[in-house]
Amino acid sequence: MKRLDFEPTFKCWRETARAALSAELSPEAISWSDGEATQLFEPMALESNQTRYNVPKRFMEVAERVVCHRSQGRWDLLYKVLWRITHGERHLLEVFSDVDTAALYKMDKEVRRDVHKMRAFVRFRHVVQEEEAWYVAWFEPDHHIIRINAPFFVDRFAQMRWSILSADECAHWDQRHLTFTDGVRREHAPNRDEVEELWRTYYSTIFNPARVKTSAMLAEMPKKYWRNLPEARAIPELLEQAPKRVENMIKASDAKQEAEIGKAVVPAADLDLESLKKAAAGCEACPLYRNATQTVFGEGPLQADIVFVGEQPGDQEDRIGRPFVGPAGAVLDRAMMEAGVVRARCYVTNSVKHFKWELRGKRRLHQTPNARDIEACRPWLEAELRLLKPQYLVCLGSTAANAVFGRPTKVLQNRGKWMESLYSKQTLITVHPSSILRARDPEQQEKAYGDFVNDLRLLVR
Ligand code: SF4
């Protein structure tokens, strides 16, 4: 085995890898050395080579992040995957069960997570340097991410002069140039400044006691970052006060909703589906109609044997006025097709007929309907189900299960088994297709999707 020496940067690795590919050096024949590892093998010099290899764009994107991983094995793994892609396995990155693909995605995920942490937890301290204001932060990344993350801070803090110091490498921005220098020790970073009190006040104001989950909070904000966060000193006191504040919030919110929410009134018991739809179009029984574009009523033939009940319309459904036509609808369509369920013979609807959302930046973000929203809208769902009398009724997700069974009903405990409800002797609970889209990685998504299709297969047995 020979040793390939190279600078530990993406550019250098790419050039060396290209030369190694062109010399037909298999992964087993070489050991990659960026100077950090023990140098066991004889060094080997390679001619630089400009041969272009047709490699999927996805690989280059992932590789650029994986080179930042702290594991010594990343170089060998990257070359192994590259070798396989260029030697007959072009679609290797789509094979999530492959050991090398899985290892590569794992490293990628760890780097992306570290990048996110840095964006969330860098706190600048104000210092004066040569009579100029300068902002300095100390950060301890798990991986070598200072360089790939620096452009984000340039964008975000373009008008400030700043430095981000770390033991690996330091980034500096003087309002015009981004530069990098060697790493420094923790003592070089300032500890405190007058901005800290402002941070603490701000954090105490935005702290939402109702959202506190201590274990999740520690996972998202590991204690190792706390000493760099001015607001961290406020956390123990805020956590202590959280239960009381939540209680007060609930009381205030209950009183407000009590005053506002009514219940949908269905005009007559013997309306047909079309007339029901028209009546629901003008429903203003609860406040949800105010921020939504239109009522999104169910859709499908009256003779449908299978009725799917979801949660509420999403952003696209709200604009178009039809249920399950957005990304979750696409997953449902595909899964139905794979399970052998014909959508044209099914009726699809939602428990709540108006889109509930909150504005984040420029996006309308879905908000889960609460028990009161479900209750207010239940008369429409009941009227639909009484008309349809479905042979099979499918609840997609917990909101639908709660609406159909009229009580809190756990999805994961009850999924995939036939149950009797008020509206159908054969009622099935499964997940909402949007939960598949939210899976954390491709592997989990694949599995969640497979389980969903298996649940739907029960409808055609
Ligand atoms: S969500 Fe339901 S009850 Fe509330 S306004 Fe819309 S249709 Fe009426």
Whether 268 maps to a domain, the answer reads no
pLDDT tens profile 134-188: 888 889 999 999 999 999 999 988 888 888 999 999 999 988 999 999 988 887 7
Pocket test for ligand 1, best of 367, 380, 384 (most atoms within 8 A of CB): 380
Reported confidence tier of residue 288, pLDDT bands at 50, 70, 90: very high
Tell whether 365 is covered by a domain: yes
Instruction: Please tell me whether residue 418 adopts helix, strand or coil conformation.
Output: strand
- The pLDDT tens digits of the residues spanning 94-117 come to 888 899 999 999 999 999 999 998
Domain boundary among 66, 85, 117: 117
Q: Say whether both 146 and 236 belong to one domain.
A: no
403 lines ligand 1 (CB under 6 A): no
**Which CATH number goes with the domain that contains 372?**
3.40.470.10
Contact 306, 296 (CB under 8 A): no
Same domain for 110 and 215, yes or no, is: no
Distance CA 306, CA 283 (A): 26
What pLDDT, on a 0 to 100 scale, did the predictor assign at position 265?
77
Residue 267 lies in a domain: no
Residues 348 and 401 in one domain: yes
Task: Indicate the residue among 68, 84, 117 that finishes a domain.
Answer: 117
279 within ligand 1 shell (Cβ under 6 A): no
State pTM to two decimals: 0.48
Which range of 54-63, 243-252, 254-263 scores highest in mean pLDDT? It is 54-63
Q: What percent of the chain has pLDDT over 70?
A: 81
3-state secondary structure (DSSP) of residue 406: coil
194-210 confidence digits (pLDDT tens): 455 555 555 555 555 55
Specify whether the CB–CB gap between 68 and 145 falls below 8 A: yes
Does the C-beta of 353 come closer than 6 Å to ligand 1? yes
Same domain, 29 and 131: no
CB of 285 within 6 A of ligand 1: the answer is: yes
Mean pLDDT, rounded, for 447-451: 95
Give 134 Cα–ligand 1 centroid separation in angstroms: 54
With bands split at pLDDT 50, 70 and 90, how would you rate the model's confidence at 26?
A: very high
Task: For residue 390, give every residue at least 6 positions away whose Cβ sits within 8 Å of its Cβ, in sequence order, or none.
Answer: 304, 305, 306, 307, 347, 423, 424
Same domain? For 132 and 111 the reply is no
Total number of domains in the chain: 4
Give the distance (Å) from ligand 1 centre to CA of residue 281.
9
Average pLDDT over every residue of 263-291: 85
Candidates 293, 350, 353, 372: which one to mutate for ligand 1, based on the most atoms within 8 Å of Cβ? Answer: 353
Please check the confidence at residue 40 and state whether its pLDDT lies above 90.
no
How many CB atoms are closer than 10 A to CB 208? 11
SS3 call for 412: helix
Candidates 266, 277, 295, 381: which one to mutate for ligand 1, based on the most atoms within 8 Å of Cβ?
295
Structure tokens at 62: 């992932």
Angle (CA) 189 198 141, round 5°: 35
Q: Is 292 in the pocket of ligand 1 (CB under 6 A)?
A: no
Query: Percent of the chain scored above 90 by pLDDT?
Result: 56
How far is it, in rounded angstroms, from Cα 123 to Cα 121?
A: 6
d(CA 370, CA 256): 14
User: Is the CB of residue 63 below 6 angstroms from any atom belonging to ligand 1?
Assistant: no
Q: What is the mean pLDDT of residues 109-130?
A: 85
Two tokens, residue 294 = 């239109």
CA distances in angstroms from 299 to 112, 237, 317, 384, listed in the order given = 41, 51, 12, 10
CA separation for the pair 417, 309 (Å, rounded): 16
Query: What is the residue with the minimal CA distance to atom 6 of ligand 1?
Result: 354
Quick one: average pLDDT of 331-335? 94
Q: How far apart are the first and last CA of the chain?
A: 57
For strand 306-310 and strand 346-350, is the pairing parallel, antiparallel, or unpaired? parallel
Residues 303, 421, single domain; the answer is yes
Whether 153 and 237 share a structural domain: no
Choosing from 146, 165, 188, the residue where a domain stops is 188
d(CA 311, CA 334): 19
Distance of CA 115 from the midpoint of ligand 1 (Å): 42
Specify whether 303 is located in the same domain as 397: yes
Instruction: Tell me, yes or no, whether 251 and 285 share the same domain.
Output: no
Highest mean pLDDT among 88-102, 229-243, 338-352 belongs to 338-352
Q: Which domain holds residue 9?
A: 2-117
